[in-house]
Amino acid sequence: MPTVDDVLEHIGEFNLFQKQTFLILSLISASFTPIYVGIVFLGFTPDHRCLNPGVSELSKRCGWSLEEELNYTMPGLGLPGDAFISQCRRYDVDWNQTALGCTDPFANFTSNRSHISLTTCQDGWVYDTPGSSIVTEFNLVCTNSWKLDLFQSVLNIGFFIGSVSIGYIADRFGRKLSLLITILITAVSGVLMALSPSYTWILIFRFIQGLVSKSEWLIGYILLTEFVGMKYRRTVGICYQMAFTVGLLILAGIAYALPSWRWLQLTVSLPNFCFLLYYWCLPESPRWLISQNKNAKAMKIIKHIARKNQKSLPTSLQSLKPDEEASAKMNPSFIDLVRTPQIRKHTLILMYNWFTSAVLYQGLIMHIGLAGGNVHLDFFYSALAEFPAALLIIFTIDRIGRRYPWAASNMVAGAACLILAFLPHDLMWLKITVACLGRLGITMAYEMVCLVNTELYPTFIRNLGVMVCSSMCDIGGVVTPFLVYRLTDLWRELPLLVFAMIGLIAGVLVLMLPETKGKTLPESIEEVENMQRQRKTKEKIIYLQVQKPEVSLN
C-alpha cells in the first residue's frame, strides 16, 4: 500500500500547490522575527542621566550650552569607568538656591567636587533619544536594569514551555487547527502588549507570546515539510528559515520609521490577524489525517493537490497507509537518550550546540544595540549576512558533508567574537565586517544543528531527541540577556569574550560527531552505535594498487 511520499512523486513534489503553500507559510516565518529579536528596538537603552530639578532654570539664567550644563551638573562625566555614576547618580544639591554661580556653581561650597555627596536619581532620568522604548517609558535603567533582562527571559521561558507541548498539541488536534489557534493568540497578545499600561502587564503578554509564537513557527515548518516531496524537504526547510531573515530586514526598516516602541509593537502585531485567512487557504496535512485513520479526508485533500498541480492521480495510489515512522510501535523514553555510549555523546554535544547557537545568535543581535553605532544600519547589515549562510549550507552539505562546515561555522563565529572584542571603536567599518562574519557563522551553525539533530537518532526516539536537545535553545535564550546586559556593565566587550569561548568549544565538539552525509536515517539504536565505528574503520583502510600482468591473447 503506497505512502504519501509515493503519491507526491506522481502528483508533484514541489509544484504550484507546494509553491503557493511555501509563500503563505513563509509570511509566518517572517512575522516571528519581531518577537524573537525585537528587544533590540523595543528595549533600546539610549544615553541617559539623572533629572535634576532646577538645573534647566539655572542653565537658562546662566546661558549655558548643553555641554556646559552637563560639565557643571553631572558627576563622573568623562572619567573612564564612571558610566554608572554619570548615568545613575547626581549631586545632592538644591539647584534652585541663589548662591549658585554661573562660572563655577560649587565655588561657594567646596574647591573639590569629589567631596560633594551623591544621591540616586530620585526624580527620574533624561534620555538622549527622539523616540521611546520600554526602557525610557518605565525607567528600566540603573537599579531597575535587570527588568530589561527579564523582559527577554520570560519570552524564552514561554518558548520552552510551548515547545515541550507543541508536539502533543499538533499531533492531537491537527496541524491546521493548532496553527490557527496560535496565530490568534499571538496576534491578540501582541496588540495587548502594545496597549499595556504597566511593566507587569507587558511581562504577562510577553510570556503569552512566548508560549504560542514559537509553536506557530514550528507548526508552519511541520505543515510545509509534510506537503512537499522527500527530495525537496531539506531545501524548503532552509528557505523557510531564510524567510525569517527577510523579516529581519523588514523589522529594521519599520523600527527606523517608527521610533516609538508602542507603534512599532502594534505595527508588527496587526498582520498576524490576516493569517487567520489561512483557514480558507490551507488544507489539513494528509499525513496527519492518515495517522488518525481519516483516509477519506486525506484522499480528498490529495486530489485537490493533484488538480492544483494539474496532475492525475492513478487509481492504484488511492489507498494509503501511514508512513513507517508514524506506525512505529516502540515507546520512547528519556533514558534512551543517554542509555548507550554513542547516543549519550550525541545528546550531550547536540544539547550544548543548541545552547551555543541560541546564546551567540541572540547575544550578537542584542550587542548591536549596545555597540554605540547606528543601531538600525548595524542591524540591517548583519541581517544581510544570514543569506549567504543558507546558500553555503545548500551547496556544502551534500558535497563536503555536515561535520566540517558545521564545526567551521561555530569556530568562525567564536573567532569573530574574539577579534571583535579587541578592535578599536574608531574602526567601525571593520567592526561591522567582523560582526557580519560572526553572524554568518552562527546562523549557519543554527541551521545545521536543526538539520543534523534528526540524522543522529534512530526513528523511535527521533522526535524526542529533537525536542529535548532543542529545549536547550530556549534555556540559552533565558540566560543570554543577563550575559549581555550584566557583563556589559563590567566591560562592554566582555560578553564577546564569553561568546568566543562558547563558540570555539562548540566547534571542537562537533568534530567528535559522526558524518551523516549520504547515509539513510538510522532505524535502530544499533545503527547509531555503529555510525562512529564505521567511520573509524573506513579511515584505517589502506588502498593498494595492484598491477596485473598483461596476458597475450595469441
For residue range 72-103, what is the model confidence (pLDDT) as tens digits?
A: 778 866 555 556 777 888 888 777 776 677 77
Question: CATH 1.20.1250.20: which residues of the chain?
Answer: 1-42+138-313, 336-533
* Rounded Cα–Cα distance for residues 326 and 531 (Å): 24
**296, exposed or middle or buried, with CB in 10 Å at 0-12, 13-18, 19+?**
exposed
Q: Please provide residue 213's backbone torsions phi and psi, each rounded to the nearest 5 degrees.
A: -70, -45
For residue range 326-376, what is the model confidence (pLDDT) as tens digits?
A: 444 456 677 878 888 888 898 999 999 999 999 999 888 888 766 656 788
Mean pLDDT, range 273-277, rounded to an integer: 95
Residue 274 has pLDDT above 70, yes or no: yes
Q: Residue 273 — very low, low, confident or very high, per pLDDT cuts 50/70/90?
A: very high
Per-residue H/E/C for 121-141 = CCCCEEECCCCECHHHHHCCC
Mean pLDDT, range 377-389, rounded to an integer: 86
Residue with more model confidence, 145 or 488? 145
C-alpha distances (whole Å) from 412 to each of 196, 248, 421, 435, 508 are 41, 22, 14, 11, 12
Residue 508 has pLDDT above 90, yes or no: yes
The pLDDT value given to residue 432: 81
* Rounded Cα–Cα distance for residues 94 and 19 (Å): 69
Name the percent of the chain in helix, strand, coil, to the closest 5.
70, 5, 30
* Rounded Cα–Cα distance for residues 84 and 395 (Å): 49
* Rounded Cα–Cα distance for residues 379 and 385 (Å): 10
Q: Residue 379 — very low, low, confident or very high, per pLDDT cuts 50/70/90?
A: confident
The pLDDT value given to residue 552: 46
For residue range 54-69, what is the model confidence (pLDDT) as tens digits?
A: 788 888 878 888 887 7
Element (H, E) at 50: strand 48-50
Residue 258 has pLDDT above 60, yes or no: yes
Residue with more model confidence, 437 or 521? 437
C-alpha angle 364-370-374 in degrees, rounded to nearest 5 = 95
Residue 237 has pLDDT above 60, yes or no: yes
The pLDDT value given to residue 202: 96
Contacts of 486 (CB under 8 A, 6+ apart): 146, 149
* Rounded Cα–Cα distance for residues 385 and 371 (Å): 18
Q: Please provide residue 98's backbone torsions phi and psi, each rounded to the nearest 5 degrees.
A: -80, -10
* β-bridge pairing 48-50 and 89-91: unpaired
**Cell 496541524 maps to which residue?**
175
For residue range 98-134, what is the model confidence (pLDDT) as tens digits?
A: 667 777 776 666 666 667 788 888 888 888 888 899 9
Q: Of the CATH numbers 1.10.8.60, 1.20.1250.20, 3.40.50.300, 3.30.460.80, which one belongs to the domain with range 336-533?
A: 1.20.1250.20
SS3 (DSSP) at 89? strand
Mean pLDDT, range 227-248, rounded to an integer: 87
* Rounded Cα–Cα distance for residues 527 and 502 (Å): 31
The pLDDT value given to residue 114: 67
For residue range 170-226, what is the model confidence (pLDDT) as tens digits?
A: 777 888 998 999 999 999 999 999 999 999 999 999 999 999 998 898 888 888 888
> Are residues 417 and 442 in contact, defined by beta-carbon separation less than 8 angstroms?
no
Q: Residue 411 — very low, low, confident or very high, per pLDDT cuts 50/70/90?
A: very high
Average pLDDT, the chain: 83
Q: Supply 340's cell numbers.
A: 548507550
Q: Of the CATH numbers 1.20.1250.20, 2.60.40.420, 3.10.180.10, 3.40.50.460, which one belongs to the domain with range 1-42+138-313?
A: 1.20.1250.20
